[in-house]
Chains A and B, each alone.
Chain A
Amino acid sequence: AQSVSQHNHHVILSEAASLELGCNYSYGGTVNLFWYVQYPGQHLQLLLKYFSGDPLVKGIKGFEAEFIKSKFSFNLRKPSVQWSDTAEYFCAVGSGNTGKLIFGQGTTLQVKP
């Protein structure tokens, strides 16, 4: 069965610290990969996506992610977090042919000023 695993459930960082959130998936075919973010009181927003091409993708607000096919991973990174990055982050995988997204359980990021 397809699955998405986010290793970090709750991360606490100080401002200016570097961030890396892990995401591994289980699926044998062509995949589309996403990171969504949910800021407090707001709805899910697309942070970045990978469909094909350069495995290092850049998103909004200085976030980037790297697709490593051999490791079935799509980790999210940011060199220096800000207090405003406090939010819940979801990794999601879609198969190449359908719109079904499988989400990880999410990582709550708390950035201390």
Chain B
Amino acid sequence: DAGVTQSPTHLIKTRGQHVTLRCSPISGHKSVSWYQQVLGQGPQFIFQYYEKEERGRGNFPDRFSARQFPNYSSELNVNALLLGDSALYLCASATYGADTQYFGPGTRLTVL
């Protein structure tokens, strides 16, 4: 079975731009969560979506938004990019909200 897929793999943006990251969950999984991993640290929770509704939000500014589509794929949007947004953005899927999460390979975002 295919695992969690994310696109793009790498992305370079400049300050002030916006970015959209995409995630496709494992087939049959209805929950998608987004995490930010800065170099040298563990992933930090950004959002969780389950059945197309936001079920949790981490301590991130309103510049960060997400949504989940009817096919359970998800997008993470970040507006007005800052240098500090440079990180690996991870998507994880689960059958339901509190079940085991399986991670994708991530999108490496560099903000110049």
Contact = CB atoms under 8 A, between A and B. Distances in A.
A75 interface: no
B55 A46 contact: no
19 contacts: A32-B98, A36-B103, A43-B104, A45-B103, A92-B42, A94-B101, A95-B98, A97-B97, A98-B56, A98-B97, A99-B99, A100-B56, A100-B58, A101-B33, A103-B35, A105-B40, A105-B41, A106-B41, A106-B42
Interface size, B (range): 20 to 34
User: What is the interface of chain A mostly: helix, strand, loop, or mixed?
Assistant: strand
Q: Which 6 residue pairs of A and B lie closest in terms of their CB atoms, listed nearest first?
A: A103-B42, A44-B103, A99-B97, A43-B105, A99-B48, A100-B56
B45 A102 contact: yes
Interface in A29-56: 32, 34, 36, 42-46, 49
Given A34-B100, A43-B106, A95-B98, A103 B43 contact: yes
B100 A46 contact: yes
Contacts of B43: 44, 90, 101, 103
A103 B19 CA distance: 25
B63 to A, nearest CB: 20
Interface of A: 4, 32, 34, 36, 42-46, 49, 90, 92, 94-106
Contact of B48 (A4, A34, A45, A100): A100
